[in-house]
Amino acid sequence: MSYRSGRHFLQIPGPTNVPDAVLRAMDLPTIDHRGPTFAELGERVLDKVRVVFKTEQPVIIYPASGTGAWEAALVNTLSPGDRVLMSETGHFAALWYQLAKRLGLDPELLPGDWRHGADPEAIARCLAEDEEHRIKAVCVVHNETSTGVTSRIAEVREAIDRISHPALLMVDTISSLGSIDYRHDEWGVDVTIAGSQKGLMLPPGLSFNAISQKALVAAREARLPKAYWCWDDMLGPNANGFFPYTPATNLLYGLDKALDLLLEEGLENVFARHDRHAEATRRAVRAWGLELLCADEREFSSSLTAVLVPEGENADRLRQVILDNFDMSLGAGLSKLQGRVFRIGHLGDFNDLSLMGTLAGVEMGLACAGIPHRQGGVQAAMAYLAEEAEGDQAKAREQRRIA
Amino acid sequence: MSYRSGRHFLQIPGPTNVPDAVLRAMDLPTIDHRGPTFAELGERVLDKVRVVFKTEQPVIIYPASGTGAWEAALVNTLSPGDRVLMSETGHFAALWYQLAKRLGLDPELLPGDWRHGADPEAIARCLAEDEEHRIKAVCVVHNETSTGVTSRIAEVREAIDRISHPALLMVDTISSLGSIDYRHDEWGVDVTIAGSQKGLMLPPGLSFNAISQKALVAAREARLPKAYWCWDDMLGPNANGFFPYTPATNLLYGLDKALDLLLEEGLENVFARHDRHAEATRRAVRAWGLELLCADEREFSSSLTAVLVPEGENADRLRQVILDNFDMSLGAGLSKLQGRVFRIGHLGDFNDLSLMGTLAGVEMGLACAGIPHRQGGVQAAMAYLAEEAEGDQAKAREQRRIA
Amino acid sequence: MSYRSGRHFLQIPGPTNVPDAVLRAMDLPTIDHRGPTFAELGERVLDKVRVVFKTEQPVIIYPASGTGAWEAALVNTLSPGDRVLMSETGHFAALWYQLAKRLGLDPELLPGDWRHGADPEAIARCLAEDEEHRIKAVCVVHNETSTGVTSRIAEVREAIDRISHPALLMVDTISSLGSIDYRHDEWGVDVTIAGSQKGLMLPPGLSFNAISQKALVAAREARLPKAYWCWDDMLGPNANGFFPYTPATNLLYGLDKALDLLLEEGLENVFARHDRHAEATRRAVRAWGLELLCADEREFSSSLTAVLVPEGENADRLRQVILDNFDMSLGAGLSKLQGRVFRIGHLGDFNDLSLMGTLAGVEMGLACAGIPHRQGGVQAAMAYLAEEAEGDQAKAREQRRIA
Amino acid sequence: MSYRSGRHFLQIPGPTNVPDAVLRAMDLPTIDHRGPTFAELGERVLDKVRVVFKTEQPVIIYPASGTGAWEAALVNTLSPGDRVLMSETGHFAALWYQLAKRLGLDPELLPGDWRHGADPEAIARCLAEDEEHRIKAVCVVHNETSTGVTSRIAEVREAIDRISHPALLMVDTISSLGSIDYRHDEWGVDVTIAGSQKGLMLPPGLSFNAISQKALVAAREARLPKAYWCWDDMLGPNANGFFPYTPATNLLYGLDKALDLLLEEGLENVFARHDRHAEATRRAVRAWGLELLCADEREFSSSLTAVLVPEGENADRLRQVILDNFDMSLGAGLSKLQGRVFRIGHLGDFNDLSLMGTLAGVEMGLACAGIPHRQGGVQAAMAYLAEEAEGDQAKAREQRRIA
């Protein structure tokens, strides 16, 4: 493809824009993964990464995509034929369900309309009926990347606790970790699945399992075959900063740097930034007269926004027009949403002006593609961001006055 | 300074945004500047760079800033006390004038109001009066970076020719080369001065003199002392791809790559892109109800736009608000324009959505800073860019129809 | 660890030294893994990588370490309880055997002394006894990274064919691919396992399965559970340059570049270079009066050399002395070889002078550590390399004379 | 040129090998050179760089090669026709002399044989004869890059002081700064000239003037024309971390990092390392039976070693053989030394094993080129380095025993 001036706008909901400092950290020479310099790196990243999960418990790092971390969560804790309750929040929840079936589990998919998060009450009902405790795990996608809907994990936890069901709680945070508030320990999650290429602002190639003590106990009895994914093999060497097989050293360099950046910005500031950009995006969408896919405002995602195109229009054509004319990649509608929605990623290394470029690309794309809409989305987003910025200034002035 | 998420918007009129591919090209190991691999590099860049100047004649590359190339142009061609006619187009023209004085020349500054380009008629009048041909050179800044005004070099040439004055024509293209159409040979320029950090999309550190045969002849008699800047020392080794002293090797790697990108995009496409972004910016400025500094539409700059703030407002405060809130750098008003204008750079590695982010940053900044303006600048720019994009699509369809 | 001047010598047998051009290729921004630019990249690397395996058949690329590719080879082709014949060539062969057991297979380990390659005759005998064809696969490590011994795969193939046994042949080329001649198609290998971090000159994080038609047929009946590793899921999207889940994009950028470099040097030249460096290393070892671990000269490895320290000496202390004093990492003796051998990696991006620095580090380290040896190893290696270089010169002269 | 495996050995006496961390620091996006982030960078490097010069006085940083810093030293302090005393230590001293002449000065070249440093007594004699104090400056090259001879600056200072001559002392440290002990303040040097591409471990493109108070006083009266090089213009903005014209921002990023590395290693350790590598090199040269160009052991250079080839042999052919066969660049003999010497650079980012690779390349090259020599140079260097390493170990043990 011939050269196009300026930076491509990568506004799919992951992989996300990687900070320059992270890319540079990754391109240093690979080192001996069994030497003392590596041990320092290993200890450092294994320690720091836990902050992002809000956990004091072990986090496993795989040289693998997020799909591998899904598999790891299941094969380490479950046995052939085990019952697993999964919430159909969208395409990725459905893929995880398929994966569980292929591994020889017996998953049940709680049906969903792909416009809502996991329903805590429906989960509670299923568990309540399961008097013999045949259900060994409840699996929920925290932020469904295909729909832009965030499930309420704390409420799911509360639902499980209310009926004292012993099932493990497993949560996919692939597109929420480092973007949307998430609390592995406080919410009593047993296995949290994550990947490098979204809120962690890294290229793809690393994935994660954060593990509770209860999950470690379950792992002792689990009989699904496993080798590459085996937690036990990891935990031993990890204690000294090492890995049982060759780790993806250069991606770990990047993780080291990316965690520094996230912690320097401050996790709560990171979440607030994503919330602000998501709200600005929704205001633009409403101003355009388009419909948000997410149907419940309690479940709006702060990392991406999925937008329905008007009946009869094709979202993929719109995406193509935008890519051709404005060099921006947006997320496609997946499986049953194909052509019906486009998805705007506003997560990772991102700021107000990048968002404005993004929304301008969408508004101009709607015009070029001839999709019925009202102007004013960009204007509405600007009004909101300027107001928020003024609020910050006022707050800063107030603080100076007091001090 | 603590980490700020997302890319900084560097929208000063240079240094400009450097393409990732150029930065990567520059960070390879330095090589022997007297070896065969270097010779290939040297020949390649010395050859390719001439295309950007639209010249068949030699181009000298200095390891120096643009100021050095100003000095080089003068010391190679002139003698102590020589008369030089310079047009006061703005801050940089005035600096060049100061530099000429300090080097022992006798420059005359044709006064200007910093809102117009060099006046070909005024130059013609001066030359006509100079019957003894004491004026040895006419110096014009093609694109005055401090004002966003582009001088009409072809008309200056025509004016000189009309009265058959033998003065050399020297043109500063520091902020126009690679952004605005420029023709060293066709316009009969004797020395063209340029720098790396603007349209050439490189970091600062290289500067250029493109030289006519007439300038080379003049150089033989020139008596200003010179060593570092001496053309003669350069031309010999340059013939084989070498340099008389250690060149800035890694910046030459970058130049090699940047030239490839410019030629791949096509110079005429590069100019059209800058024209389009400049027009979009001006539409935004007018929609805001603000005044353009450039007073003559024939002289609008395609690489930057200088905007007057309303009487009583401070452009530097606006820039500070924008930097603090939206992480964007804009150009300041220089010397007598300080606080009166801000300058939007839209040159170098840039695209429609980056421009929209830029203009949104200005519009939100105007709001945050409480500067009286109308909304709608971003909207106007979007309307124009979308229309242009549709035009491109229509043109492409038409071409397919014919073919 | 505080700064040490100069480049670290990474002379473990992998990860290897990564060329600067590959590191730079990897640190470009991540792109949309579902967009057209990615499709071009995917098609290009999936196509080019086959050249290195010397195959026309499909090659699968995993975002995973080599251990994952071992697992992938087994779970795609075999069913629980299947018999697998494995040759105990060293530590890694033993690890693969353990992995097979953990996956629910019934592997048999043909015992070895860790100083020889797989014994084609022993394999033939086992297969001949297996009249019911219960053995479904024969697994051999081409180049045993723990011992520096290369198995003769063509002879293993010939042994299997001789008795017309239908078992699949699976070969681990993790530390030979791109360093030692290997022929997936010609040798009739069914699954070849490889990794990115050795001869391919990349950081760790990618691994490979090259697959025969026979293996694909076997895969249809295989009943080991699989999801992440499933070939079928890969082959569909791969046809268009895509992947079923997020690929490790930036490592693929690196692979694209690394393959270009390997093919530019020419595979046969790459092999000859590794052969030459291995021979130089062995001459040094013999001159030092030390013993090579590899006991059969037909099986000398060209990618690494394992060296026995004299009885009573500790190879790990030697390695530590060398790391502390000369900033070079060497490979440790693994499991039963711990402390008995050290391993010199001479594979990947490497040249004569780097080898000489490496061997000088060993010779000086032997002196510093007080390990009994004779001087002259470096001298012997230099004599050999200089002679080879002269031979090249003579050959070049001869060719010019003829032409 | 087609791909050659492994890292090129860049063993010319500059540009030197640039640490990976410095290259990576340089390839971050350029920033606004008039913004607050730049000011922090500017202040940091202007402050830290003084440590390397061992001065508390101002250091000027030019976007230019070392030749520019030569010119800057002269034009800032002298007037047309001023007498300057220069010592002919070799090619670069002669070039500096030519440059002085071209700038309109009246330099006198104290003749030398290109095998000795500047002669303090000869300088003293000249100054003693200059009763009218017509000599305004004494110019000495600290480390003559063309010969590998280091002049004794402290003795030159002492000679000037002895006869109380008011001439300025100007010293070129282009190939010594950051490699060989140098003390701007203690030795009372008035202008120290330096460049980025040698001991500072940067690519070429920056050069330096460190300035005494006496030089600043002299600058007030100096009448050579100047603009680009003018100290005064620099000192004002430098006080706040800024520069009068666009600085070479990305090279300053590299300088920032390189200074951190030098200070982390510790200047005295840096000097000891260069001394050790130079001594090892000389032992190799003597073992080969070749002659060192430097004739006085008090003046051996620690940054490079120039070696005479036997009468009748051509050093340039040797260098070509080494480049072709072993991918190493060595320095050529310059002007009257052309073909007579080759120069081994052992400065910058370098370590013991890189030196051993370098010396092995020379020894093998001598063999391939058929130049009469004895074997054993590499062996002699190894013996010395191993002994030094053992000494370090013993010292460390001793320190532990005491503690």
Nearest to A145 by CA among A174, A170, A116: A174
> What is the domain extent for residue D66?
20-264
- Please report which confidence band the pLDDT of residue B403 belongs to, taking 50, 70 and 90 as the band edges: low
Chain D interface disruption, residue of B32, B38, B231, B243, most D CBs within 10 A: B32
Instruction: Answer for the pair D322, D365: CB distance below 8 angstroms, yes or no.
Output: yes
Q: How far apart (Å, rounded) are the C-alpha atoms in residues D64 and A86? A: 65
DSSP strand E in B236-324: where? 291-292, 304-308
Each residue's pLDDT tens digit, B227-286? 999 999 999 999 999 999 999 999 999 999 999 999 999 999 999 999 999 999 999 999
Class of residue A26 by CB neighbours under 10 A (exposed 0-12, middle 13-18, buried 19+): buried
Q: How many structural domains are present in chain D?
A: 2
CA of C375 vs chain D CAs: smallest distance (Å) = 8
Scanning A336-355 for CB atoms below 8 A from B yields: 349-355
Structural domain contains residue B257: yes
Q: How far apart (Å, rounded) are the C-alpha atoms in residues C178 and C262? A: 8
Integer angstrom CA distances of residue D29 from A6, B8, B15, D327: 13, 9, 10, 32
Last residue in a domain, options D231, D264, D297: D264
Class of residue D185 by CB neighbours under 10 A (exposed 0-12, middle 13-18, buried 19+): middle
Structure tokens at C66: 């080599």
Each residue's pLDDT tens digit, A84-143? 999 999 999 999 999 999 999 999 999 999 999 999 999 999 999 999 999 999 999 999
State chain B's mean pLDDT as an integer: 97
Chain C residues with CB under 8 Å of A246 CB are 14-15, 65-67, 195, 197, 204
Each residue's pLDDT tens digit, D187-216? 999 999 999 999 999 999 999 999 999 999
Whether residue A384 is found in the same domain as residue A241: no
Residue with tokens 């033993």: C94
Q: How far apart (Å, rounded) are the C-alpha atoms in residues A93 and A149? A: 12
Each residue's pLDDT tens digit, C328-362? 999 999 999 999 999 999 999 999 999 999 999 99
Each residue's pLDDT tens digit, D131-183? 999 999 999 999 999 999 999 999 999 999 999 999 999 999 999 999 999 99
Scanning A57-76 for CB atoms below 8 A from B yields: none
Q: Which letter, b or e, does each residue of D5-34 get, where b requires 16 or more Cβ atoms within 10 Å of its Cβ?
A: bbbbbbbbbbbbbbbbbbbbbbbbbbbbbb
Last residue in a domain, options B264, B296, B325: B264
- Tell me the residue type at D316: D
Structural domain contains residue D1: no
Whether residue C337 is found in the same domain as residue C253: no
Partner residue opposite C382 with nearest CB, options D17, D20, D364:
D364
Instruction: Answer for the pair B141, B93: CB distance below 8 angstroms, yes or no.
Output: yes
Structure tokens at A9: 């706008």
Q: Strand C304-308: give its sheet, edge to edge.
A: C9-11, C328-332, C341-345, C304-308, C291-292
CB distance from A138 to chain B under 8 Å? no
Contact D21 A29 (CB under 8 A): no
Instruction: Answer for the pair C207, C194: CB distance below 8 angstroms, yes or no.
Output: yes
Class of residue D100 by CB neighbours under 10 A (exposed 0-12, middle 13-18, buried 19+): buried
CB distance from D314 to chain B under 8 Å? no
Residue with tokens 């090249």: C392
Whether residue C257 is found in the same domain as residue C310: no
Contact C15 A246 (CB under 8 A): yes
Partner residue opposite D351 with nearest CB, options C4, C273, C352:
C4
**Closest chain A residue to C195 measured between Cα atoms?**
A246
Contact C21 B29 (CB under 8 A): no
CATH of the domain at D384: 3.90.1150.10
**Closest chain C residue to A61 measured between Cα atoms?**
C64
Each residue's pLDDT tens digit, D298-335? 999 999 999 999 999 999 999 999 999 999 999 999 99
- Please report which confidence band the pLDDT of residue C1 belongs to, taking 50, 70 and 90 as the band edges: very low
What's the pLDDT at D394? 76
How many Cβ atoms are within 10 Å of B264's Cβ, its own excluded? 11
Each residue's pLDDT tens digit, C254-309? 999 999 999 999 999 999 999 999 999 999 999 999 999 999 999 999 999 999 99
Contacts with D254 (C-beta within 8 Å, 6 or more apart), sequence order: D18, D22, D23, D25, D26, D196, D202, D203
Structural domain contains residue C194: yes
CB distance from A149 to chain C under 8 Å? no
Whether residue A241 is found in the same domain as residue A314: no
What's the pLDDT at C392? 79
Q: How far apart (Å, rounded) are the C-alpha atoms in residues D400 and D389? A: 17
Q: How far apart (Å, rounded) are the C-alpha atoms in residues B229 and D226? A: 12
Nearest to D59 by CA among D75, D78, D72: D72
Structural domain contains residue B86: yes
- For residue D15, say if its preceding peptide bond is cis, omega within 30 degrees of 0: yes
Residues forming beta bridges with residue A389, ordered by sequence position: none
What's the pLDDT at C403? 62
Nearest to A207 by CA among A47, A67, A76, A45: A67
Q: How far apart (Å, rounded) are the C-alpha atoms in residues B284 and A278? A: 26
- Tell me the residue type at C14: G
Chain B interface disruption, residue of A24, A364, A374, A392, most B CBs within 10 A: A364
CATH of the domain at D256: 3.40.640.10
Structure tokens at B395: 């043109």
In chain D, the percentage of residues whose pLDDT exceeds 90 is: 96
CA of B301 vs chain A CAs: smallest distance (Å) = 19
CA of C20 vs chain B CAs: smallest distance (Å) = 7
Structural domain contains residue B4: no
CB distance from D320 to chain C under 8 Å? no
Structural domain contains residue C337: yes
Instruction: Answer for the pair B137, B172: CB distance below 8 angstroms, yes or no.
Output: no
Instruction: Answer for the pair C9, C351: CB distance below 8 angstroms, yes or no.
Output: no
Contact B30 D15 (CB under 8 A): yes
Each residue's pLDDT tens digit, C180-207? 999 999 999 999 999 999 999 999 999 9
CA of A146 vs chain B CAs: smallest distance (Å) = 24
Contact A245 C65 (CB under 8 A): yes
What's the pLDDT at B1? 46
Whether residue C291 is found in the same domain as residue C203: no
Whether residue A125 is found in the same domain as residue A205: yes
Structure tokens at B334: 């220089």
Predicted confidence (pLDDT) at residue D287 exceeds the cutoff of 90? yes
Indicate the SS3 state at residue A305: strand
Chain A residues with CB under 8 Å of D20 CB are 28-29
Contact A12 C34 (CB under 8 A): yes
DSSP states of D198-215 as a string?
STT---S-EEEEEE-HHH
Q: How far apart (Å, rounded) are the C-alpha atoms in residues B389 and A20? A: 30
Q: How far apart (Å, rounded) are the C-alpha atoms in residues D80 and D78? A: 7
Each residue's pLDDT tens digit, C62-94? 999 999 999 999 999 999 999 999 999 999 999
| CA angle, residues A385, A389, A391, in degrees to nearest 5 | 115
Q: Are strands D59-63 and D206-211 parallel, antiparallel or unpaired?
A: antiparallel
Q: How far apart (Å, rounded) are the C-alpha atoms in residues C7 and C9? A: 6
- Please report which confidence band the pLDDT of residue A396 belongs to, taking 50, 70 and 90 as the band edges: confident
Structural domain contains residue C3: no
What's the pLDDT at B5? 97
Chain D residues with CB under 8 Å of C382 CB are 360, 363-364, 367, 378
Structural domain contains residue A223: yes
CB distance from A204 to chain C under 8 Å? yes
Contacts with B379 (C-beta within 8 Å, 6 or more apart), sequence order: A375, A376, A378, A379, B287
Nearest to B343 by CA among B96, B99, B92: B92
What's the pLDDT at C39? 98
Q: How far apart (Å, rounded) are the C-alpha atoms in residues A124 and A121? A: 5
What's the pLDDT at D1? 47
Task: Give the C:D interface size as CB pairs under 8 Å.
Answer: 156
CB distance from C6 to chain B under 8 Å? no
State chain C's mean pLDDT as an integer: 97
Chain D residues with CB under 8 Å of B28 CB are 23
Whether residue A125 is found in the same domain as residue A159: yes
Q: Are strands D83-87 and D135-141 parallel, antiparallel or unpaired?
A: parallel
Indicate the SS3 state at residue B302: coil
Query: Once rounded to an integer, what is the mean pLDDT over residues D370-390?
Result: 97
**Closest chain C residue to A103 measured between Cα atoms?**
C225
Nearest to B146 by CA among B342, B361, B286: B342
Chain A residues with CB under 8 Å of B361 CB are 352-353, 356
State chain D's mean pLDDT as an integer: 97
Scanning D29-48 for CB atoms below 8 A from B yields: 29-37, 40
> What ipTM was estimated for this complex?
0.97
Query: Once rounded to an integer, what is the mean pLDDT over residues C6-11?
Result: 97
Structure tokens at C122: 């022993």
Each residue's pLDDT tens digit, A137-177? 999 999 999 999 999 999 999 999 999 999 999 999 999 99
Instruction: Answer for the pair A309, A315: CB distance below 8 angstroms, yes or no.
Output: yes
Residue with tokens 């036990």: A232
- Please report which confidence band the pLDDT of residue A217 belongs to, taking 50, 70 and 90 as the band edges: very high
Contact A7 C29 (CB under 8 A): yes
CB distance from B205 to chain D under 8 Å? yes
CB distance from A28 to chain D under 8 Å? yes
Last residue in a domain, options C208, C241, C264: C264
Contact A24 D20 (CB under 8 A): no
How many Cβ atoms are within 10 Å of A270's Cβ, its own excluded? 22
Query: Once rounded to an integer, what is the mean pLDDT over residues B62-75?
Result: 98
Instruction: Answer for the pair D166, D134: CB distance below 8 angstroms, yes or no.
Output: no
Structure tokens at D268: 């005295």
Residues forming beta bridges with residue D358, ordered by sequence position: none
Whether residue B284 is found in the same domain as residue B238: no
Query: Once rounded to an integer, what is the mean pLDDT over residues D123-127?
Result: 98
- Please report which confidence band the pLDDT of residue D391 belongs to, taking 50, 70 and 90 as the band edges: confident
Mind spelling out the 3-state secondary structure of A98-130?
A: HHHHHCCCEEEEECCCCCCCCCHHHHHHHHHHC
How many Cβ atoms are within 10 Å of A214's Cβ, its own excluded? 16
CB distance from B261 to chain A under 8 Å? yes
DSSP states of D133-188 as a string?
--EEEEEEESEETTTTEE--HHHHHHHHHHTT---EEEEE-TTTTTTS---TTTTT
What's the pLDDT at A363? 98
Indicate the SS3 state at residue D342: strand
Structure tokens at A378: 């960009």
Whether residue B349 is found in the same domain as residue B234: no
Chain C interface disruption, residue of D5, D321, D366, most C CBs within 10 A: D5
Whether residue A36 is found in the same domain as residue A102: yes
Structure tokens at D360: 């092995």
Whether residue A217 is found in the same domain as residue A276: no
Q: Which letter, b or e, does each residue of C271-284 get, where b requires 16 or more Cβ atoms within 10 Å of its Cβ?
A: bebbebbbbbbbbb
Predicted confidence (pLDDT) at residue A77 exceeds the cutoff of 50? yes
Whether residue B49 is found in the same domain as residue B188: yes
